[in-house]
Structure 1
């Protein structure tokens, strides 16, 4: 590794872990985190998160019996950490950029607007008797309302279970059933657009909940005003409900180890497998990795193109950028629509500072002419991320030299999530 590049990496990492400014750089911080694990995470938890009730114990882990807890006697609220605490300083800053499928139809949602929207959404859920500990199934495409649905659950202490809005009814139904008997509410949109094609999502929900008596209410949002979205007696027009709801709502103090969300596999290779993420430990991980790995600063424009139905979308489209006070891109379309330059046109249009995608998409795009890249200004980028599987050499070289103009570092996060190694690939 070239000396100047290593020094640049160390300075960037240290800048994003300012709590350890007395240490020399990345290697020293990493060594300290291993040798002083409790002190390391205690310092981060106190500096990165706002607590309603302070914790007295950092961790209590017994791997033999599977008992692992973090900050167990502390209380906080994830919504407050992601949105409320950024007011009033960032009230007029965009929190979300909604890049719809059709170019030129984007929407911006400020932190103040998101705060109001989530409060109204939370009150709608409470009016449907959703309370702390209840499960809420979300079958919503990446969009402001999809994000607001997740945050509204977090605000009142409900546990959200987001199912990728592309899975079939057979995949959606177990996700509702397995979320236990107290999943009475499903949130969905009438449909979504991908590559110029409208996809009806409400019909999938209707099939999934047929004869499923535990579901009492389906909150249906509008994506296509001409679509027939209310098709059963359980359906409620979400847009109308939000319009009439109050935007005053108290946040629920949550124990650090309370569940925040459930996330299930599609079940394509057997019974769906679920994973539970708790409140504080997950949010702290999202905050620190988004900051340190991607050099994400408050006000940065973070472009993760993962759907909110995936764990990457949960962490790096929703919770990670927002807890850091950044602007998060919500990308509804596909990388090749209307042409293979869509990603890079989006980078130029919003001056994105980070771009996070999948090797599969990168490999499909590198087959096309470089003109689809070079005609767009990508100089705003600080990081390009790769996630989901190992990135091959050809794709890495293409990202670094062609997309990043040999100036942008590549964060290969598969290496971290699958092997526990360093998430940053120095260049």
Structure 2
């Protein structure tokens, strides 16, 4: 049996070209004018289900931020002492919103909707002099370090233009220099996602995700009384809904929100399988996105972003074909490789090597600058190989788990157990 592998070469070649273009576009400066963050009011929701290990540190740190700020910790039916920890910090700025059974533990989106409904009744008391477009709704996890500069940069971005409906801040992983697993996750956030998001500033297709997401209240109101859905990636879903209503989403690209990573392979796989499954859930937003008045390039890139969740499946098929060929089960043919061979016997293998490490070659060199760490040149080959193995293994296995859950009708929220990693708030 003979199989032509040209489709894989074309696919990964186009993918590499896309990433290269986005990487180059990310260097185009997206400058923000000076602003006064005290002209805005911030309400930060912190969903907390059994977060006793980290919520105290988070409340303490959020309490130090200089801004017109209210923090709503959503105690989603915790039974590990989370409520008692938060209670020690409750006051003028820190508020605990308690959810109890049977409403509790129905997913992050449902918890956010209930807390949002309550908080809206408090806005006139908290911000009596502010308009709806001056109130900013933020969402963070229970394990974050939110630097003062994040608030300043987010405020500056919102105040740069009235059509900015949401802002996403970058993310880094706490203690990335302490553990290989954490380093891999930090490279994902600070060497890959960061530059892609910076490029999307110019395409108006910035994706909202995880920590550091902020939405203008006036934009949030256009989504109704329950802006979040049951999607496992409720953050991406919210961003697509906002884009579908014509709101622009921007990326600050400077000071990151620092969060805990995961050192357990099992927990990391659990988290990523939720992300994969959530991406497929959000595909339902594509129709409204294409019916919206957003720019064509915004629609195209947002669609491409959602569709890229199939890359692990294509990669798995490519690996499977390679192994089958290795054991003589199939014969792999390639017209493109035969054509390239005409330019030199070393050309086909070089092209394969470049395509195999294209993402690492494009983004890894920038990681040292972004994370402010020095990686010796002789470490890079091993780091590239390690990162390739890490991403392929995690995302392929996560895709398998996600498809199994979807096939068996399992759509419930998957809670990732918290780990205590480090007291160091730097990313590396």
**Does the alignment reach a TM-score above 0.5?**
no
Higher-Rg structure is 2
Q: TM-score if structure 1 supplies the norm length? A: 0.33
More strand by share: 1
Q: Which has the higher contact order (CA 8 A, sep 6+)?
A: 2
Q: TM-score if structure 2 supplies the norm length? A: 0.33
